[in-house]
Amino acid sequence: MGRLDEKTAIITGASRGIGAVMAIHIAKEGAKVLVADVLDTSKTVKTIKSNGGKATGLKVDVTSDSDLSKMVELAEKDLGGLDILINNASIFASLQPKPFLQIDNDEFDSVMTVNARGVHQATKSVVPSMLKRGGGKIVNIASGTFYYGPPGLSHYTASKAAVIALTRGHARELGDKNIQINAIAPGLTESESIKDHKGFDPARAPTVQSRSIKRDMLPEDLLGTLMYLITSDSNFVTGQTLNVDGGKINV
């Protein structure tokens, strides 16, 4: 038996990278998974089903209330309800690091809208469904950049700082409804989305050297923390951000 048997989950931004790895893992643990993304979700869904799991995919823009409404409706119809939301959708792999003086307003607004407002909107969309189940678990994927402010990614860093703030605020408001909301702040993760991204090359070796555990971070390194936050192990934990980066930042 899996630790998530009889649970249903939505994970946004799960067509590839960290989101796909998380979706496949929680399905192996027994969860029924709705894979949501603006990109094609079929590869992740196919992998889950080939492993004997249950999954359905849907094209979802997390900044669209109508898309999010359809997402929740599909989860209730196809999966039987909703217990878990993982807010993973984010603009990151498509960014080219640059000095903040070169970041125009449109790029800044796009990053903030998807990465921050998208978490706000997606969380709002699932609360009524979770209340029908008596509660739920929400995990927001933040970023370790919040703690040290790397050059070239000021807009991304600001958006993930907002995610941490939303995690705290939403947790305060939903604590009495048995919905726990926490965040994970990963370090630079060598997912399929960025492993060939030359723009991040200058940061790779220094990042590994700054860690207590001196190796590349992989998406799989997040799975233990994720499982803690979406199971009953964390029933008395909410509003927290857990830093997972091999010991680069001590907070």
Instruction: Quote the CA–CA distance of 109 and 172 in Å, as a whole number.
Output: 27
Q: What are phi and psi of 105, to 5 degrees?
A: -65, -35
Instruction: Quote the CA–CA distance of 49 and 60 in Å, as a whole number.
Output: 20
CB proximity list for 17: less than 8 A, separation 6 or greater: 93, 191, 192, 193, 194, 219
CB proximity list for 106: less than 8 A, separation 6 or greater: none
DSSP 204-250: HHHHHHHSSS-S-B-GGGGHHHHHHHHSGGGTT--S-EEEESSSS--
User: Count of residues for the chain?
Assistant: 251
Q: What is the rounded radius of gyration, in angstroms, for the C-alpha atoms of the chain?
A: 17
Name residue, tokens 């909703």: 82
Instruction: State CA 11 to chain mean position distance.
Output: 7
Q: Where are the alpha helices (DSSP H) in 56-153?
A: 65-74, 105-112, 118-132, 145-148
Active-site annotation holds for 148: no
Instruction: Quote the CA–CA distance of 218 and 187 in Å, as a whole number.
Output: 9
Handedness of CA 43, 90, 137, 18 (dihedral sign): positive
The catalytic site residues sit at: 156
